[in-house]
Amino acid sequence: MKRLLWGTAAILLLSPSCSNSEKQEIIQVPFNEVTITGGFWQCRMNSELETTVPFSLKHCDAAIKRFEQCADFLSGSSTELPETHRFISSDLYKVIEGAAYSLMLKDDPETESLIDSFAVLAAKVQRPDGYLYINHICGNPNPDEMGDKPYSWVVHSHELYNVGHLYEAAVAYYQATGKTNLLDIAVKNARHVNKVFFEGDPNYNGGKPVNQAPGHEEIELALCKLYKVTGDTLYLDMAKKFLDIRGVTYRPEGEGVMSPEYAQQHAPVALQREVAGHSVRAGYLYTAMAQVDALTGRSDYAEALNSIWDNLVSTRMHITGGLGAVRSVEGFGAKYELPNKEAYDETCAAVANVFFNEGMFLASGDARFLDIAELSIFNNALAGINLAGDRFFYVNPLEADGQWGFNHGKTGRAEWFGCACCPPNISRMILQTPGYMYAYTDDAIYLTLYGSSRTAITLDCGKVELNQTSDYPFSGEVTVDVNPGAGSRFSLKLRIPTWADGTGNFIPGGLYTFRNRAGEPVRIKVNGKNVRYRIVDGFAVIDRYWDAGDRVELSIPMPVRYVAADSRIEADRNATAVTIGPLVYCAEECDNADRVQNLAINTEGWGTTCMSTISGGPLDGVRKVICPGSRDITMIPYYAWDNREDSQSMTVWVKNLPDTTRTEKDLERFSPNSPSLKGMICL
Ligand code: FUB
Ligand code: ZN
């Protein structure tokens, strides 16, 4: 197994106000340089390696078969034509990308050989000029969806979306193995795309450059990866060109999927100011804009991105970090249009939200972007996959009645989907999560996402080993052993999430505010002694000389918090959400012996809640909470719902009890001596 490394190249600043030359490039420690040593992420990584990756590869049979049929058809050994499908290849590429990440963590000759065989097949199917899209190659396109010729219906064909995912897979496989078999196919395709779209190729579009941005973004961010791994600026130039022609050279003028907003083609991207349209497309677009700015060292999109981000977090994001509330367009609706039961919030969109916000953090050094990335990871994104790693949500509502098949026809999780974009997306994100834990500049180390892990970072002053222990997100106690090679001075920057900063907001943006106060402040000790710290951009900064064996103890209080939504969100009026740390909780029918829609919470009851860790069963190790209300309301983290029984009612927002006065009976029931609460920690 080769462990090729990559950092985030040349990340400069997005915001003009941050163009201070003293600001330094922030580099993320790549996930394969962070070892998970226990806690929350260890289970998730194990289920990825042991279950999700092999399980997903098995579900690629239909996609692989199309390549086989196409190859046989081209060689004349069969007349059978491959199934007509616009983007099933992209699902396969995403699975390969995740499988490649898994190879960086664990050798698996079988998976490697499967990917190698696929590369042989893909090379046979790819046209000599680099074009790669099965149905046009085999001459059986569905013209309504794909156009009658290559690149004649770029707005919906997904030709460039598919190859974007191919580039990401190829880069990952090269990084994992050093093999260029997929990368060669990707590079050949990218050069072909450049010729056809920006130079003109006699075999396509009558020789005129197509010069139109694809309807589904993806190739832009993938070209950035291709640039980073090859160093060839052609790909970065292409990414920028695709961004800059969006909404300029072509603008659909219809409705629904042909509306100008649907694929963010209503205005040049640098002039866009609000989130719009299909949420996965939007998320990939914003990610690419942040990356292109960073890689070119320009701020062409900074104003747009900052405004779009503000608009997102203050008007159009669910408390779970979910994007794209409106089912009919899989996208954004009007301001504050955030329904619960009907919410769409596709898993892919939550993953895109993570990519977007990680990019914004690297560009700015501002922790508020990490608050949103973390929110999305621990809530909407992780809800997209069950704890065992083999069942999925495409759609992530905040309420279910147990009867409506909200999840593409299912009332619960599905084994896979006809259109399976989501399962491999969440899978590849989980595998990369250790890469969201640490970042650094020449003279500072950022702790960006807490969890038991180990890494080593080379600063200007030398190598620093870090060994972190934490049960985060179930506990805010974090211990970090710092081992510089020799005594050296640098800053350690510990992220203090918005939910712990005493401002009363659960996350930035002001949509979700706490009903109760945080209580204790955040405390930091170095070698057992409290230290004073200053907060800069959401980080507690400890600047000092460090010695081998120094120990930092961070204590972020995580009381049970009750949250109210902005009253302009109609669906959440007169209701309360419960959060602990970054986790959003939900009530599920199987814990509450009743349809959860019948429950009502005492909005003043936060001081009389009880918590315990579930032991055994699918939710082993998950922390539950019991809150007083019309009855004792048991709640579990949202990401863990639908792991026990399907067709359950569930709700994040619990109706408020009209009379919030706590009765003697409530208090008695919630006394630590109450027999029904035995073994729980009660406040
Ligand atoms: O169109 C490709 C993917 O399929 C989109 O990103 C998802 O929303 C689903 O429609
Ligand atoms: Zn999806």
Question: What's the pLDDT tens digit per position in 405-462?
Answer: 999 999 999 999 999 999 999 999 999 999 999 999 999 999 999 999 999 999 999 9
> Rounded to the nearest whole angstrom, what is the distance from the C-alpha of residue 537 to the centroid of ligand 2?
32
Cα three-residue angle 301-351-242, rounded to 5 degrees: 35
Contact 286, 2 (CB under 8 A): no
Nearest ligand 1 atom to alpha carbon 161: 2
Ligand nearest to the CA of 380: 2
> Rounded to the nearest whole angstrom, what is the distance from the C-alpha of residue 378 to the centroid of ligand 2?
17
pLDDT score at 646: 86
For residue 31, give the nearest of 358, 376, 380 by alpha carbon: 358
* Ligand 1 close to Cβ of residue 374 (< 6 A): no
> Rounded to the nearest whole angstrom, what is the distance from the C-alpha of residue 161 to the centroid of ligand 1?
10
Q: What does the alpha-carbon distance between residue 663 and residue 112 come to, in Å, rounded to a whole number?
A: 63
Q: What does the alpha-carbon distance between residue 540 and residue 422 come to, in Å, rounded to a whole number?
A: 36
* Ligand 1 close to Cβ of residue 91 (< 6 A): no
Q: In what order do the strands lie in the sheet with 534-536?
A: 27-28, 438-440, 444-447, 488-495, 539-546, 534-536
For residue 412, give the nearest of 422, 421, 402 by alpha carbon: 402
pLDDT score at 563: 98
Contact 426, 354 (CB under 8 A): no
Q: Which of 216, 323, 344, 392 to mutate to test the pocket of ligand 1 (most atoms within 8 A of CB)?
A: 216
Residues lying with their CB under 5 A of ligand 2, a single-atom ion: 346, 348, 421-422
pLDDT score at 606: 87
Q: What does the alpha-carbon distance between residue 309 and residue 503 come to, in Å, rounded to a whole number?
A: 20
* Ligand 1 close to Cβ of residue 348 (< 6 A): yes
What are the structure tokens assigned to 509, written together? 């943006």
Distances (CA, A) of 377 to 287, 346, 374, 383, 433: 16, 13, 5, 9, 9
Segments of the chain scoring below 70 in pLDDT: 1-23, 660-678
pLDDT score at 303: 98
Query: pLDDT, tens digit, for every residue of 322-346?
Result: 999 999 999 999 999 999 999 999 9
Distance of CA 451 to the CA centre of its chain: 17
Q: What does the alpha-carbon distance between residue 398 and residue 418 come to, in Å, rounded to a whole number?
A: 24
| Backbone φ, ψ for residue 467 (5° rounding) | -130, 110
Contact 438, 430 (CB under 8 A): no
Which residues touch 102 (CB under 8 Å, ≥6 apart)?
A: 48, 49, 53, 108, 111, 431
Q: What does the alpha-carbon distance between residue 514 and residue 43 come to, in Å, rounded to a whole number?
A: 31
Centre a 10 Å sphere on the Cβ of residue 356 and count the other Cβ atoms it contains: 30
pLDDT score at 662: 55
Q: What does the alpha-carbon distance between residue 170 and residue 57 come to, in Å, rounded to a whole number?
A: 16
* Ligand 1 close to Cβ of residue 421 (< 6 A): yes
